[in-house]
């Protein structure tokens, strides 16, 4: 009986590992450091070692394991290949094939943001939904699209790269991707700070934001205290994000839209203002699509990775 | 051996029917009128009759038929149900179930624009591709999204409703859907005329568009003759459409983007200008995604409908 599986979430500094039951119960989680020396040559062998050690510790045989799922920061295609992963110092790698050779277990790989969306759709904020959009609002804006319960990887592993949707054709500053006017420039933690800085420079108005360090958190904290200037910044953020989500909904018409990532810790006030702006622009039959907060936090990746193989 | 199938494309005035080999060869096509009297009660029985007549004529038994696929103008969900179809005077209908009962054959149903996309992905402009976006530029703007070779119907049958992506938050006029700033207001035949009318009113410049009847075709004809004012209209159209397609590509990252519908008959000059604007806004790894013209024309619907059942 294939009763267990592993979900692995590879980051630039640490690798999160989870041992799951195939029904989605997390039995145990732990971390190992990411060794990016030598073009990251040790990363997959280190994962294989920690899996084998855990199997020994728990007296699990290969026959009891449905497989190993792996989330990786980069454009993984549907076959588990990646052309490069900058944060891991990787060039081309056939992740799933290498992992199968290293462990003798079935292995599958996906992009980390996509895999997180799958985790949230499996056991998180969109549990039970098979059509989901997850927008991850962190340092950048990532995303994952789930259709019929599966990740949309896309032809170049760029499925769910919603942070680079062009939402402002008039934008003069450049995004990290080289384009101008990306959603990431408006709705990431750094994007919100950018919008706030512009607003502070363009206005003489007093604001809580003129005191202390400026961050996405300080903007939402001030917004919650009815700071007017912060309110204008949040309105801009929400208008860009809400309208973008409404456009994405015209494409895949999800059951649920999730907001995750560090910025989403601002919680209900953030969710509400995004939902308000979403409704304005959404196609009539999608106006009531719920916008919810992701709930699995940093564990979304290991959950989704596990789901790849069970 | 299931060697044949039927592809049916239901329109408001006529129903296109195709008898196909399961390999995609169109054996014969014909049309019957759409009887929308009596809440369209005769539509499905009429289709069942014409199918049975064709089977008799061709001496085909049920055992030889893999099924009947049906494309319908309205929000069909993944189970083949529709809440209403305005152009057919239909209220709620479980299309596939009713058709199975009427014919004794396997039946499946989809939205007509989605089904056309499936047809183009099967035997048309995107033959062989399993990730496709089709934008149908007609009286309105419709669309279809194909992921892993299958239609994305969405949670409310609104998958691929790309004509209602909000591309202009500043738009004052209303779209038929009740929103303001929809892609359909910029990139449909009527949308292009609307843009042209604004440009003609706002400028004293002479133009071929000031003579004869104004239509999407006359705009593109004048554009091909280097008419400056028409050029500005086409630039606006292409900027809206190209940027919208770039956003959609961030969501599903297709192998091919297709342009179909009556407006796309303007051909290569239209394709080129849309591709140019698409490239400006597209995520780097999607910039070279080819934008092609659809090729099946009015037959895309019967091809795609047939593909639903084979």
Per-residue pLDDT tens digits for A130-159: 999 999 999 899 999 999 999 999 999 999
Q: Compare CB distances from A159 to B239, B253, B284 and report the shortest one's residue.
A: B253
Pick from A252, A255, A283: which is nearest to B251 by CB?
Answer: A252
Overall average pLDDT of the A3-31 stretch: 97
Tokens encoding B267? 């051909």
Q: Quick check: B253 and A157 CB within 8 A?
A: yes
Q: Above pLDDT 90, what percent of chain A?
A: 96
What is the arithmetic mean of pLDDT over A177-199?
Answer: 97
User: Which of A183, A253, A258, A289 is best to mutate for the B interface (most B CBs within 10 A)?
Assistant: A253
B positions 2-61 inside 8 Å of A (CB): none
Query: Residue B250 and residue A281: Cβ atoms within 8 Å?
Result: no
Cα angle A89, A95, A96; round to 5: 165
At A191, the pLDDT band (50, 70, 90 cuts) reads very high
Write down the pLDDT at residue A95: 98
CB proximity A292 to B under 8 Å: no
> Residue A1: what pLDDT?
78
The whole-chain average pLDDT of chain A stands at: 96
Band (A78; pLDDT cuts 50, 70, 90): confident
Helix (H, G, I), strand (E, B) or coil at A111: strand
**B77, B236, B230: which is closest to B167 by C-alpha?**
B236
Question: What would the pLDDT profile of A204-241 be if each residue is shown by its tens digit?
Answer: 999 999 998 999 999 999 999 999 999 999 999 999 99
> In chain A, how many H helices and how many E strands?
10, 12
Burial of B243 (0-12, 13-18, 19+ CB in 10 A): buried
Give the least confident one: A45-59, A77-91, A271-285.
A77-91
SS3 string of chain B?
CCCEEEEEEECCCEEEEEEEECCCCEEEEEEEECCCHHHHCCHHHHHHHHHHHHHHHCCCCHHHEEEEEEEECCCCCCCCEECCEHHHCECCEEHHHHHHHHHCCCEEEEEHHHHHHHHHHHHCCCCCCCCEEEEEECCCEEEEEEECCEECCCCCCCCCCHHHCECCCCCCCCCCCCCCCECHHHHCHHHHHHHHHHHHHHCCCCCHHHCCCCCHHHHHHHHHCCCHHHHHHHHHHHHHHHHHHHHHHHHHCCCEEEEECHHHHHCHHHHHHHHHHHHHHCCHHHCCCCEEECCCHHHHHHHHHHHCCC
What is the C-alpha to C-alpha distance for residues A90 and A104, in angstroms, rounded to an integer?
22
pLDDT for position A186: 98
Residue B226: is it exposed, middle or buried by C-beta count within 10 angstroms (0-12/13-18/19+)? exposed
- Chain A residues with CB under 8 Å of B163 CB are 250
Q: What is the DSSP letter of A175?
A: P
Cα torsion B53, B59, B61, B63 to 10°: value is -130
Q: What is the pTM of this model?
A: 0.94
The answer to whether A281 contacts B254, with C-beta atoms less than 8 Å apart, is: no
Distance of CA A47 to the CA centre of its chain: 21
Q: Work out how many CB contacts closer than 8 A connect A with B.
A: 144
Give the span between the Cα atoms of A267 and A259, in whole angstroms.
Answer: 9
* Mean pLDDT, range A166-193, rounded to an integer: 96
- Tell me whether residues B165 and A284 touch, CB distance under 8 A: no
Q: CA end-to-end span of chain B, whole Å?
A: 12
Distances (CA, A) of B251 to A162, A184, B244: 6, 14, 11
Q: How far apart are CA B186 and CA A103, in angstroms?
A: 54
Centroid of chain to Cα A246 = 19
Q: Give the span between the Cα atoms of B144 and B228, in whole angstroms.
A: 33
Cα of A276 to nearest chain B Cα, Å: 15
Q: What is the token pair recorded at B95?
A: 């299309």
* pLDDT tens digit sequence for B6-22: 999 999 999 999 999 99
Model pLDDT, residue A264: 97
B160 neighbors B245 (Cβ within 8 angstroms): no
Query: Which parts of chain B register pLDDT below 50?
Result: none
Q: Name residues 151-210 of chain B within 8 A of A (Cβ).
A: 152-167, 169, 177-179, 181
Cα separation, A254 vs A43, whole angstroms: 35
pLDDT, residue B1, reads 78
Rounded to an integer, the average pLDDT of A249-255 is 98
Altogether, the residues listed in chain B come to a count of 310
């Amino acid at each position: 009986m294939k009763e267990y599986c592993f979900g692995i979430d590879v980051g630039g500094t640490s690798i999160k590992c989870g041992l799951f039951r195939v029904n989605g119960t997390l039995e145990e989680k732990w971390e190992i450091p990411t060794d990016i020396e030598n073009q990251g040559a040790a990363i997959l062998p280190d994962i294989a070692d920690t899996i084998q050690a855990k199997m020994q510790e728990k007296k699990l045989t290969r026959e009891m394991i449905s497989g190993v799922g792996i989330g990786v920061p980069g454009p993984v295609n549907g076959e588990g290949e990646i052309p490069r992963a900058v944060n891991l110092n990787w060039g081309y790698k056939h992740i799933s094939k290498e992992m199968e050779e290293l462990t003798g277990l079935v292995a599958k790989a996906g992009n980390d943001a996509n895999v997180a969306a799958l985790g949230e759709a499996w056991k998180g904020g969109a549990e039970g939904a098979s059509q989901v959009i997850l927008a991850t609002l962190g340092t950048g804006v990532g995303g994952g699209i789930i259709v019929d319960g599966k990740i949309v990887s896309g032809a170049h592993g760029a499925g769910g790269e919603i942070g680079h949707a062009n939402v402002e054709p008039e934008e003069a500053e450049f995004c990290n991707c080289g384009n101008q006017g990306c959603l990431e420039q408006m709705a990431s933690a750094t994007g919100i700070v950018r919008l706030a800085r512009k607003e502070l420079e363009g206005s003489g108005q007093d604001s809580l934001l003129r005191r202390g360090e400026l961050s996405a958190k300080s903007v939402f904290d001030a917004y919650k205290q009815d700071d007017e200037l912060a309110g204008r910044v949040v309105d801009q953020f929400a208008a860009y994000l809400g309208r973008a989500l409404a456009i994405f909904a015209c494409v895949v018409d999800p059951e649920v839209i999730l907001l995750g990532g560090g910025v989403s810790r601002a919680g209900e006030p953030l969710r509400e203002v995004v939902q308000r702006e979403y409704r304005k622009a959404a196609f009539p039959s999608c106006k009531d699509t719920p916008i919810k907060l992701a709930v699995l936090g940093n564990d979304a990746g290991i959950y989704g990775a596990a789901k790849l193989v069970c």
